[in-house]
Amino acid sequence: MSEHDSADEDTGPPSAEPGAEVESTGSDSDATSSEKSDAVSAETAAHTEPVERTELAERMEPVDSTASADPQASDAENPSEPEIDPATLCALNTTVLRGVGERLGIALDEAAVARYERLAAELVVINAKMNITRLTQPDEIAIQHIVDSLLGLRMMDGVASGDGGQPRVLDVGSGAGFPGLALAIAHPKWNVTLLDARAKVVTWLEHVARVLELENVTGVHARAEDAANEKEHRARYDIVVARAVAGLPTLLELTLPFARVGGRLVAWKGESADDEVAAAQSALSVLGGKVTRRHRYTLPGLDRERVLVVVEKRRKTPRGYPRKAGTPKRKPL
């Protein structure tokens, strides 16, 4: 990043907390009173950012389940070094992956598809030891992890690095590596940082990046509240992404401080997205963001609507945000 980006935001100790305009737990059900319901309805009807929809009509072809081994059986024989070849564990539906790539204008070549398959296999192996995802079947990983992550690329068009180089992307609460690893495979020239508060998870993410030979990926072990107040990370990223982390009022405080002015947050949300946006108006005002797009879509084989919420960083986040660890969740703005 350029020199002027390094001084983009203050990182001093928190100032006095302003009164929260909206009291929320950060869950998917932010609007609990009739007054909030009225406010949600009015805001939803009046929002001016484009509301878009993606239809994915591809049908999932059955995958031979016999291609998956039982990782726990090998763990029992040799718990320290399981005799498992991860490359044989998960046969992804590559037809769906390529189809989505074509719709997004992304050429997923053989190398990229092979990396997604190996990523899925590594996920199956680690999940037998450390539960980091409930989705472990080949079709689940292909559709609900990889395809879902790739759909977010449409919300990242036109974002360039603040210093003229390749975009810097931060995945907050990366967990199983989605969307961060999926984006890094699709765009190997992007600089992707995976942030998670769990040391074991970060160790695994770094292992996968080495196995997949992703030199554009860096793992960071830290809480978002702490890392966002460090000069190395504050206001340093062009794109911040978050998937299944927290309700939007809380999520904004955990993510917007990382984005440079002119950058954006892309948040993966469910059917309650409009309610969350309505409940997040105070947080948006305080933290310097504005919701500019809401993109609605459904995944192949699933009925529930999903929403990508795009927030542009319009001005610097004030000193003192994010507040100390745990406060954004307990007392959302």
> Where along the chain do its domains lie?
3-330
* Tokens matching residue 51: 């509301």
Q: Specify the pLDDT at position 277.
A: 98
Mean pLDDT of 125-145: 84
CATH superfamily of 3-330: Vaccinia Virus protein VP39 (3.40.50.150)
Q: Exposure of 296 by Cβ count < 10 A (0-12 exposed, 13-18 middle, 19+ buried)? A: middle
Q: Is the pLDDT of residue 303 over 60?
A: yes
* Tokens matching residue 232: 């190395």
* Of the candidate ranges 74-88, 90-104, 191-205, the one whose mean pLDDT is the lowest: 74-88
* Contact partners, residue 79, CB within 8 Å, separation at least 6: none
pLDDT, one tens digit per residue, over 164-210 is 788 999 999 999 999 999 999 999 999 999 999 999 999 999 999 99
pTM, 2 dp: 0.75
In the block, residue with structure tokens 């960071």 = 220
Q: Which residue has the higher pLDDT, 36 or 91?
A: 91
Q: Are 245 and 251 in contact (CB under 8 A)?
A: yes
